Amino acid sequence: MWLINSSVGRKLVMSISGLFLVLFVTFHMAMNLVAVISEDGYDAVCEFLGANWYALAGTAVLALGFVVHIVYAFILTAQNRRARGNQDYAVSERPKGVEWASQNMLVLGLIVILFFLLHLVHFWGKMQLPEILGEYPEGGIDLIQQVFSSPLNLVLYLIWFVAIWFHLTHGFWSALQTLGWSNKVWFCRWKLIGNVWATVVLAGFAFSAVVFYVKYGLLG
């Protein structure tokens, strides 16, 4: 199949799955801000999602997109290393931050995956999973209090957010370039848009985490 056997096809799948995850990350950040504004509002959103058929369908699609993105990332990395052989990648004239991210996407991706698994343990494993199993899940805001009352968890999550930021600032414009939505003019524009978007979203995550720690850790 072309999407599996072709190098261009693999990059296309990688790009589409990555942009799909971009939408989820943005939605998740918005949910965190809801928790900052209103505890009852956040619990209402969590209850609305729960283990309903549409929530389970969305979770399955999200999980599939995440797995596909990871698998294709490893395939493309192995393919690039085989093509490169013993030769180092040529140095390209890119901003230092983006160049570092582009050369370390696999490492950044592994960090994101490890912390994502931790996040699943902290939240999904105590919310939607118990409901699927017919058990009574813990409240969303209660889990936020448990997790972010710990300074260690705050630091771990902030590290995760930084890794995601580097991963996204490169991945965003790279995906659009693969899809053919980039040229000499729009190349710089997409990079700027990606950097601004990633900064706003990850700043929202970091702001929420710090507010949670102050509220439930320092003042709780």
CATH number of the domain bearing residue 168 = 1.20.1300.10
In degrees, to the nearest 5, what angle opens at C-alpha 166 toward C-alphas 99 and 176? 75
Return averaged pLDDT per consecutive 10 residues of the chain, 220 residues in all. 66 83 90 92 84 84 87 77 57 49 73 88 85 79 90 93 88 78 74 89 95 86
d(CA 138, CA 125): 10
Encoded tokens for 213? 């720690």
**Phi-psi domain of 8 (left: phi exceeds 0; alpha: psi -120 through 50; beta: other):** alpha
Contact 140, 127 (CB under 8 A): yes
How far is residue 92's CA from residue 189's CA, in Å, rounded to a whole number? 18
Report the domain count for the chain: 1
**198 φ/ψ angles, rounded to the nearest 5 degrees:** -60, -40
Q: Are 102 and 51 in contact (CB under 8 A)?
A: no
First to last CA, the chain: 56
C-beta of residue 144 within 8 angstroms of C-beta of residue 35 = yes
Q: How many angstroms separate the CA atoms of 8 and 76, rounded?
A: 10
Residue 42's closest CA among 27, 32, 52?
32
Tell me the residue ranges of DSSP E strands in the chain: none
Cα separation, 161 vs 111, in Å, equals 10
Instruction: Write out the residue range of the structural domain in which residue 123 sits.
Output: 2-218
- Virtual CA dihedral for 116, 194, 177, 28, nearest 10 degrees? 30
What's residue 102's pLDDT?
A: 65
Is the pTM of the predicted complex or chain greater than 0.85? no
Tokens of 50: 């729960």
Residue 86 confidence (pLDDT)? 52
| 8 A C-beta contact, residue 70 and residue 114 | no
